[in-house]
Structure 1
Amino acid sequence: MTTTPATARERYLQPEYTRLLAAARRSLERTGGSLDGTISVSAPTDAEREALIGLTGTYRPPGTAKITVRLADLDAAIRTATGATLAGLLTQAGGPLRNRPAERAALQNARTQLLTQAESSPLHARHAWYRAWLSGVAADGTLTTLINKGDTSALARAVRVLEHLDARSADTPPLMLPALAETVTGDTKALNHGRGPLPGLVLRALAQAHSVPLPSTAEERRELWDAFDVIVDDLASRVLVLNLPAHGQGLGEWLTGAAAYGTPFHITLHQLVTLPITVSLPIVYACENPAVLRRAAQELGPDSPPLICAEGRPSTAFHRLTRTITDGGGTLHYHGDFDWPGIDMTNQLISRHNARPWTMTAADYRTGIAQDDHIPLRGKPHPTPWDPELADTMKHANRALYEEAVADTLLDNLTASRAET
């Protein structure tokens, strides 16, 4: 019976040729289709050995450890028997062959184009954090993943978001996240968490710029956006105050009423935007931990000097209220934790609002750590230009001193301040 090309092709697709053809596919895909090399089948079964004897015309005895075949010979044998090339047979058996060298070249070309475009941003020359972010995205596989998934526009859109935020001045009103997304991308939901790679790319850059870990919770994401005056939720962004009388309908009246009773009051960013106030106070004290404000309310009540609380990292509501205070001629006296994040926040408030550190000298630190045991300092050290000795003392002692541990000292200071007015 005459063997037709079709039946010959079916023969090569039988199990005894499976490993041989798999090795051939790997070789052709790795080299971009080259037939110059050889392939092998190790520990061949009797059926594989006999099939390869028939293919090559060379006898191999039972027990042969490995049979090697030149790809060119395999291609020629298949052409003779089936009229198809080796590549054609492999395509029929398992789908199109990949050209890995061409894929690598295309990937590298796409990477180069995207990085060149991102490096052309003015941010690249101005900010070390931007260069570090871009280098990280290129090095850890993120860029390759974007290309392989067809999301090549995500990096360019992330750069445009960062450029837009960088161009905003300190006096620019806070921006709602949907408004930012629409301005830059045309889609109000483009920066929502889980909406493709764009939000993650931007937050990764903002975390790099702020020297904080990448946020992993909704609260951490909101706080990071807040740090750049972008509001995810203007009801969630808030600041806690005590005895802060103000002028203005609604919010101003509420604050003045609360101050008369020494009652703590939470102000949301929504209230600050929709019910604007003016504050005419020469000094407003500020703390980081609400435990300090709570004690001031309990122990001093209406007699406590005006006090606002960041409740951790200052929110956009905190910054907006502080600008209102300074615009009215007031000065913020700030106390935070004696740890490196607390020192960093103090520096930021000095730079942003011309705040004055409040009981945050090296002497205050030494007095505090002498009273109790404290955990070791963590994180990157920061300078203390208002008292250079403080940073050196903290490095030497290597102990964190949290605000609630010095609450007695702060309350004594508030009491004394009140008596002087």
Structure 2
Amino acid sequence: MNLDVFRGPRLAALLARTREQLERRDGALSGGFTLKGLTEEEAGHVHGFLGTEPGRHPDRVPVRLAHLDATVRAGYGIGLAELFEALGTPLRFRSRADRETEELRARILAPALASPLYEAEWFRSWLEHRDTRAAVTRRVRKKDTDTFGQAVRVLETVDAHNTEASATGTSPLLLQSLAVHATGDTKALNSDRPLAGLVLAALAARSGTTRPADRDAQERRALWEENDVVQDDLASRVLTLNLPARGPVLGTWLTEAAEHGVPLQVTLHQLVRFPPVPTARVIHVCENPAVLRLAAERLGSESAPLLCTEGWPSAAFHRLAAAAVSAGARLRYHGDFDWPGAAIARRVAERYGADLWRMSAADYLDHVPDEHHPLEGRERPTPWDPALAEAMRERGAAVFEESVAPALVGDLAER
């Protein structure tokens, strides 16, 4: 049986439209359609095959499915459905395709629905979010039954680790080890992989924060570290000044550095191996190291205790801040007057009950320069003082922390 006539361009438009109609009708041969916009030559080929005559519109050919099926059977001994199968592209009837799609969606979602995390409100909120539903649809289209289940395994591991870490102070999870544990691939949680986007969206729900922007590497890194997942526990650091502490090794280093008013860079590795217990009752926190440097130069050992996040808080900062708050300390936070700075301030305030230090609308308006840096990025709320976000929006200016450092250092001198 020679089917070459169906493989060339002469009947391509006829076959394409026939496939569309049969799949939509679940193979029913009732009714028909009209091919439109054909050239005179194309219309002639179709009329010749069907044995019909041109009508009033030379660029159109009416086609009845039953007649077309009968023509194919008479010439080749098979019906339309068998023809498409013989050509290597079987029909996919809509009802069957819909059923297969729903079955595939159910397979993809099954690990999430069976997970113990499903009892958690944040997990269900993540599952029901429109972005997650869209991500599942993309997995369905790609027939990817692995990625979503891997995301659930990552989340289960992170949640179990954080529960244990809060009780025992265990080491943080290394990102590559987490990726291998969940997928067998060390690069599966790299920022350019779909898996990382799924997990970070869920971690944002778990932390009660907004989802990080895809291109905001700092915010994505910070969200990992808020959940005690780090790329390198030696690279995760926090800068300290005058923060005495109890405990062997690191506690001794912190206390001796405070006696001499010397800044000390502390790594997450050190904090895990030799966990200190800060003894200060009030600890100021800044975002920019220029503030801490100025305090060290002007005040030395007379400065109030100070931590510096150096941008988005690291896992090392979170580990030390949590230890301080657990020991009874009160944090006072100041950062940049820009949208990322507002987001950091809100997170520190919500996570540690920190007071906001010179972060009101009045403080912002006191320091807006004549020539200013424009605000960039997503607008963020300032729930501790809603007027601040409104003032920033109206002025459209960023005020960076180093420009107000003298006022902050003045506060640190009044310890």
TM-score (norm 2): 0.80
Map 1:22-171 → 2, pairs under 5 A: 22-42=16-36, 43-46=38-41, 49=44, 52-53=47-48, 55-56=50-51, 58-60=52-54, 64-111=58-105, 114=108, 118=112, 127=121, 130-131=124-125, 134-137=128-131, 139-140=133-134, 142-163=135-156, 165-166=158-159, 168-169=162-163, 171=166
Are the equivalent residues in 2 in contact too, given 1:286–1:310 (CA < 8 A)? Answer: yes
Identity score, percent: 39
CA deviations 1:165-222 (Å, max 9, x no partner) are 4564483435313555566x37474853169643221012224542143343654432
| Larger mean Cα displacement after TM superposition, 252-261 or 405-414 | 252-261
Q: Check conservation: 2:132, 2:198, Cα contact below 8 A.
A: no
1:380 equivalent to 2:380? Answer yes
Q: Deviations over 1:237-284 (max 9, x none)?
A: 110112334444443444344445433221110111123333333333
Amino acid at match of 1:269: L
| Contact map agreement 1:240 1:308 (CA 8 A) in 2 | yes
In structure 1, the partner of 2:14 is 20
Change in 2 beyond 3 A, CA 1:44/1:339: closer
Residues 107 and 336 of structure 1: CA distance in aligned 2, closer, same or farther (over 3 Å): same
> Bigger radius of gyration, 1 or 2?
1
The number of aligned residues is 403
Describe how 1:210-359 pairs up with structure 2 within 5 A: 210-216=209-215, 219-339=218-338, 341-359=340-358
Contact 1:190 1:198 in 2 (8 A): no
Mapped to 1, the partners of 2:6 and 2:138 lie a distance apart of 37
Q: Given that residues 337 and 343 in structure 1 are in contact (C-alpha distance below 8 angstroms), is that contact kept between their aligned partners in structure 2?
A: yes
Q: Is the 8 A contact 1:204 1:214 kept in 2?
A: no
Q: Is the 8 A contact 1:190 1:199 kept in 2?
A: no
2:387: which partner in 1?
A: 392
In the alignment, the residues of structure 1 paired with residue 94 and residue 414 of structure 2 have an alpha-carbon distance, to the nearest angstrom, of 76
Which sections of structure 1, spanning at least 5 residues, go unmatched?
1-5, 385-389
Rounded Cα–Cα distance in structure 1 between residues aligned with 2:367 and 2:7: 81
Q: Distance in 2 between matches of 1:194 and 1:258?
A: 37
1:206 to 178, 203, 212: 203
The answer to whether the 8 A contact 2:257-2:263 is kept is: yes
Deviates more, 1:399-408 or 1:267-276: 399-408
After superposition, give the CA deviation of every residue in 1:85-127 in whole Å (9 maximum; x if it has no partner): 2232333335333334421332134335655874676766754
Q: Which runs of 5+ in 2 are unaligned?
A: none
